[in-house]
Amino acid sequence: MTTSKRSYHITTFGCQMNKADSERMAGVLEDMGFEFAADPNQADLILYNTCTIRDNAEQKVYSYLGRQAKRKHEKPDLTLIVAGCVAQQEGEALLRRVPELDLVMGPQHANRLKDLLQQVFDGNQVVATEAVHIMEDITKPRRDSSVSAWVNVIYGCNERCTYCVVPNVRGVEQSRTPEAIRAEIEELGRQGYKEITLLGQNIDAYGRDLPGTTPEGRHLHTFTDLLYFVHDVPGIERIRFATSHPRYFTERLIRACAELPKICKHFHIPFQSGDNEVLKRMARGYTHEKYRRIIETIRTYMPDAAISADAIVGFPGETEAQFENTLKLVEDIGFDILNTAAYSPRPGTPAALWEEQISEEVKSDRLQRLNHLVAIKAAERSQRYLGRIEQVLVEEQNPKDGNQVMGRTDGNRLTFFQGDINELKGQIVNVKITEVRAFSLTGELIPVAQSVARLKVG
């Protein structure tokens, strides 16, 4: 007798951390015999991996969840799970709000999905939100890409930025050991992955919680040491990392990035505001002068480095003059990409309770003005690529044009060119850039023989 396999669907909201967690949880489910279903309405198990950074992502979860809860009345064996940051924040309250839920699990419990599901299949409604020591990950993620993979190096965050829920929902910093991280990357190299992105909410905090110090009193395992430790893994050709914190970003790290050829010359360093008073009230622990010095140092070592960042407008109490300091910083630095957001008060954070909240009109006006400047500066930054030969790691076919493939330059610019994905996927090729836009490039593939000749002449 054959029994059909049960199927699952995961919907992920939010940051790269959540995407990495979703891949791990998909790996667990497939290990348990579940099959991926592209259509959530056909799946026997639905998992929402949620984000609480913005209110609209949170609202979306509730509306999706409402629909699936209704479906459960017709299909009682449907398993409904909410994971991630909303789950952590709401805990039991979620079960009261949506009694059809089977499992509510915080991000620290991602590795325990199998055990938790066992409890559900035994007939329990389960809430797993208590702080845990994250066990070394033995699950194999089901990775969405076969070219580029995420590797967690540190979970949680010990900072207390006054707008951020992450420390409440993801707990204190827990670094993985360098050996475990290297073993995971070696396995990825053997499987044919070409690029990895090392992940942490505050990746510069890596190693602070691991034992040991150097004779000079420095932590034995810093993030810079980790880069030296993993940079030569066979098969892996590119290494990226996120997210950096200006408070802890060191010149030693910049030197390592300049020195190690596999580290991509792209830095994502959120500054959040260009005004010192606002930065202080955000509890970020640096000034705009320090931020500028970091970028200057990066550009001294690597003049062509791509710089991206995150910024928030309309933080409680932000005056027009303070907002203009953010514009000034953006004008002066010229980011390749800047992710911008209007401040949104998150429950459980100090800034949400402050009285001087900025009106939605002012926030959206500032956001528009900032985005306008960002697009101008990004277009200016793109100009430098015109006519250049860039090395592009080919990832996918262009979904809008079957004759084109797409990939990224070392500086993380999305690049399109004519080519066959079956031949090119996972290869790093030379592409001559013929067209530039603010956030992407178009080019022509340079055949290998020509590339070699050019290198010899050059």
Binding to ligand SF4 by residue 201, rule CB under 6 A? yes
Q: Give the shortest CB-202-to-ligand SF4 separation in angstroms.
A: 4
Q: Which stretch binds ligand SF4 (CB under 6 A): 108-116, 161-169, 175-183, 398-406?
A: 161-169
Q: Which stretch binds ligand SF4 (CB under 6 A): 63-71, 156-164, 222-230, 416-424?
A: 156-164
Residue 101, C-beta contacts closer than 8 angstroms, at least 6 positions apart: 65, 69, 80, 81, 82, 94, 95, 125
Q: Give the shortest CB-38-to-ligand SF4 separation in angstroms.
A: 32
Residue 384, C-beta contacts closer than 8 angstroms, at least 6 positions apart: 304
Binding to ligand SF4 by residue 157, rule CB under 6 A? yes
Binding to ligand SF4 by residue 166, rule CB under 6 A? yes
By C-beta, is 157 or 298 nearer to ligand SF4?
A: 157
Binding to ligand SF4 by residue 108, rule CB under 6 A? no
Binding to ligand SF4 by residue 411, rule CB under 6 A? no
In angstroms, the CA 182 to CA 108 distance is: 21
Secondary structure element (H or E) that encloses residue 351, with its range: none
Radius of gyration of the chain (CA): 23
Q: Which stretch binds ligand SF4 (CB under 6 A): 76-84, 154-162, 208-216, 273-281?
A: 154-162
Residues 81-100: x where in contact with ligand SF4 by CB under 6 A, - otherwise, as a string: --------------------
In angstroms, the CA 182 to CA 180 distance is: 6
Q: Give the shortest CB-249-to-ligand SF4 separation in angstroms.
A: 12
Sequential DSSP letters for 222-256: -HHHHHHHHTT-TT--EEEEE---TTT--HHHHHH
Binding to ligand SF4 by residue 17, rule CB under 6 A? no
Q: Pick from 90, 99, 80: which is nearest to 58 by CA?
A: 90
Q: Give the shortest CB-164-to-ligand SF4 separation in angstroms.
A: 3
CB atoms within 10 A of CB 13: 23
Structure tokens belonging to residue 252: 């030693």
Amino acid at 137: D
Structure tokens belonging to residue 89: 């924040």
Interaxial angle between packed helices 16-31 and 113-121, expressed in degrees from 0 to 180 and rounded to the nearest 10: 50
By C-beta, is 342 or 378 nearer to ligand SF4?
A: 342
Q: Give the shortest CB-385-to-ligand SF4 separation in angstroms.
A: 30
Q: Give the shortest CB-317-to-ligand SF4 separation in angstroms.
A: 18
Q: Which stretch binds ligand SF4 (CB under 6 A): 59-67, 159-167, 324-332, 450-458?
A: 159-167
Q: Which stretch binds ligand SF4 (CB under 6 A): 155-163, 285-293, 343-351, 438-446?
A: 155-163
Amino acid at 398: N
By C-beta, is 166 or 370 nearer to ligand SF4?
A: 166
Q: Give the shortest CB-225-to-ligand SF4 separation in angstroms.
A: 21
Which residues 213-252 are close enough to bind ligand SF4 by CB under 6 A? Answer: 245
Binding to ligand SF4 by residue 202, rule CB under 6 A? yes
Q: Give the shortest CB-277-to-ligand SF4 separation in angstroms.
A: 18
Peptide linkage before 243 cis (omega within 30 of 0): yes
Phi, psi of 407 (to 5 degrees): -165, -170
- Contacting ligand SF4 (CB under 6 A), which of 51, 94, 164, 313? 164
Q: Pick from 85, 100, 17, 96: which is nearest to 51 by CA?
A: 85
Binding to ligand SF4 by residue 167, rule CB under 6 A? yes
- Three-state SS for 375? helix
In angstroms, the CA 446 to CA 388 distance is: 12
By C-beta, is 82 or 242 nearer to ligand SF4?
A: 242
* Residue 21 to residues 25, 27, 128, 159, 167, Cα–Cα distance (Å): 6, 10, 15, 21, 17
Binding to ligand SF4 by residue 330, rule CB under 6 A? no
- Using CB under 6 A as the binding criterion, the count of chain residues that bind ligand SF4 stands at 9
Q: Give the shortest CB-161-to-ligand SF4 separation in angstroms.
A: 3
Q: Give the shortest CB-248-to-ligand SF4 separation in angstroms.
A: 9
Q: Give the shortest CB-108-to-ligand SF4 separation in angstroms.
A: 14
Compute the CA torsion angle 168, 272, 247, 85 (nearest 10 deg): 20
Residue ranges that bind ligand SF4, judged by CB under 6 A? 157, 159, 161, 164, 166-167, 201-202, 245
